Copies of this chain bind each other. A is one copy, B any other.
Amino acid sequence: MNALGDPTRRMIFERLRRGPKAVGELADGLPVSRPAVSQHLRVLKEAGLVSERRDGTRRVYRVEPDGLAGLRAYFDRFWDEALAAYAAAAQTEEEG
């Protein structure tokens, strides 16, 4: 969650959702240098949102479904609770 706070990191993550990409590929078209992308990928990796596969001298990164599922679960739970609280408040107001 903290990991997706940075806009650049979100761009990287969004590019990765289309499919696996190497670091250089990701850096092309992004307004930051390749090392910067590399550092962002480390953060995303530590957050469990991406994983890495070595392919020769290249490192191919891809979205990690489990990490993404965690985020989804977080928001689903949030959604449910918020909606329940909302309904409860509306009913309380109706009764009062």
Contacts and interface: CB of A to CB of B under 8 A. Distances in A.
15 contacts: A1-B10, A2-B5, A2-B7, A14-B78, A17-B81, A17-B82, A19-B85, A19-B89, A63-B85, A65-B82, A68-B75, A68-B82, A69-B79, A71-B75, A72-B75
Question: How large, as a class, is the contact surface on chain A?
Answer: 20 to 34
Main secondary structure of the interface of A (DSSP, over half): helix
How many copies are assembled? 2
A68 B63 contact: no
Interface string A15-55: 00111100000000000000000000000000000000000
Nearest to A77: B17
A18 B85 contact: yes
